[in-house]
Structure 1
Amino acid sequence: MQEAVSRSLYSYWNALRGSRPAPKRFEIEPSRIANNLPDAFILERIDAGNVRFRLAGTRIAEVLGLELRGRNLFELFDAEDRRTLQDQMDIVAARCAVGVFQIAASSDDGMTAAFEILILPLTHTRDSVERFLGSVAPVDKPGWLGSLPLTKRKLIHHEIIWPDGSPAFAEHSTQAQVPVLHRQREARIVRSARRQFRVYDGGLNQFGDDR
């Protein structure tokens, strides 16, 4: 996580969950993340192919030039990126992992800006993950940002972070391969340009209702 918005929201989520794999949706208090609300969103997982925006902050709509509420996250991307995102969201939902994505969004006349997207799992009425708290933050802030609709989006980097150092809910996962990770340290799987790395960070990171 590079952006301050992402780190702040992750810190709140991580403290709220305590020793659990993830906090419950109704435990999210907007007043506690007031500074991040314009950049934050709530997703609802309808099924494996439909994860829709229930809420999206005003600054997200401003910088992307796009109203997200009610839209399916996957439909914002082309077929190849859609499959990657679906696979990543399956891991986030099944194992209470944290997803970090970097995308490039461009206008029709070729102006491009990079964004970091954070996705954090939330349990809902049952113990399964059916909601997600997240944020969208520009990596750089060109002067024209917010004045042009960004109509094309490309996934350029993604990683899965295990907050406790190993996957939760692994017995329920349909993934054929479970990473072997140390519990003593936060670990993440990074995929970029067809290469896969397992990275261990030293030390321990401490960091509304949408019915």
Structure 2
Amino acid sequence: MMQQATTKELYAYWDAIRNGRIAPRRFEIEPAKIAGLLRETFIAECTGLLGMRFRLAGTRLCHQFGRELRGDDFLGFWSHEDREAISSVVHNIINDGAVGYGSFVGLTESNREAAFEFVLLPLIHTGSSINRLLGAITAIDPPFWLGSEPLVAFEIGDLGLHWPDETPTFLAHNSAEAARRARQRFYVVEGGLSRDNQR
């Protein structure tokens, strides 16, 4: 599960304003209430089946990644295999109201590595469907050089899903066995954090 202060605090704030619903509405997010987290948070727009475009991105995120992230597609950062896994997470967030979380390694052209934790939380912007994501990306023990070299490649360490109300919404009236099968659609991907060549 989430280990870093930023991801845990953002989840707690989101869960409080959600107040038992599948997701809060975008306008319910009050930046002043999470002022200490804003530099590492973002809002992304779900664009079709294969898009998750940054609408807003915190200043620390942009600094650590070495570029302005607004307008970038989060799903475009990854290799084909990792992108499929993260797309599966996003699918569960949008359709089931799940929370996605995980870790990854960002690499520079000189092969320096920095580890990150992230969380993806569902939001409703228009209508009644989930169509935005509130998220945070926070460095784990950030190295001294982070921000001085752009990150040019990314490798997933692990991924997970959490249903705040324990059962996906669309299974609320079905059996526990059906809920178990739904969770099996998602799998953990071992990646960059378990590589032999850690730097």
TM-score class, shorter-chain normalisation, is 0.7 to 0.9
- Taking a change above 3 Å as real, the CA distance of residues 124 and 169 of structure 1, as seen in their structure-2 partners, is farther
- Structure 1 position 61, deviation (Å): 0.7
**1:119 matched residue in structure 2:** 120
1:160, 1:190 within 8 Å by CA — same for their partners in 2? no
1:94, 1:170 within 8 Å by CA — same for their partners in 2? no
- Structure 1 position 65, deviation (Å): 0.9
2:156, 2:189 within 8 Å by CA — same for their partners in 1? no
- Structure 1 position 51, deviation (Å): 1.1
- Structure 1 position 170, deviation (Å): 4.0
Query: Which amino acid letter does the alignment assign opposite residue 25 of structure 1?
Result: R
Instruction: State the Cα RMSD in Å.
Output: 1.8
Distance 1:170 1:148 in 2: 46
1:113, 1:141 within 8 Å by CA — same for their partners in 2? yes
**1:106 matched residue in structure 2:** 107
Distance 2:74 2:189 in 1: 21
Distance 2:55 2:73 in 1: 10
Distance 2:15 2:72 in 1: 27
Structure 1 stretches of 4+ moved >3 Å: none
Query: Which amino acid letter does the alignment assign opposite residue 191 of structure 1?
Result: V
Q: Deviations over 1:164-210 (max 9, x none)?
A: 11112348xxxxx74269xxxxxxx772449xxxxxxxxxxxxxxxx
2:8 is aligned with 1:10? no
**2:163 matched residue in structure 1:** 162
Residue aligned with 2:188, SS = strand
Matches within 5 A, 1:39-188: 39-170=40-171, 178-179=179-180
**1:191 matched residue in structure 2:** 188
Residue aligned with 1:129, SS = coil
Q: Which runs of 5+ in 2 are unaligned?
A: 173-177, 192-199
Distance 1:101 1:19 in 2: 24
1:166, 1:180 within 8 Å by CA — same for their partners in 2? no
Distance 1:113 1:71 in 2: 20
Number of equivalent positions: 182
Q: Deviations over 1:125-152 (max 9, x none)?
A: 1111000100010012111111111111
Distance 1:105 1:46 in 2: 24
1:97, 1:161 within 8 Å by CA — same for their partners in 2? yes
Query: Which amino acid letter does the alignment assign opposite residue 188 of structure 2?
Result: R
Query: Which amino acid letter does the alignment assign opposite residue 34 of structure 2?
Result: I
Distance 1:178 1:150 in 2: 38
- Structure 1 position 101, deviation (Å): 1.7
Distance 2:135 2:18 in 1: 15
Distance 1:57 1:170 in 2: 35
- Structure 1 position 109, deviation (Å): 0.8
Structure 1 vs Structure 2: percent identity of aligned residues? 38
Residue aligned with 1:47, SS = coil
Residue aligned with 1:117, SS = strand
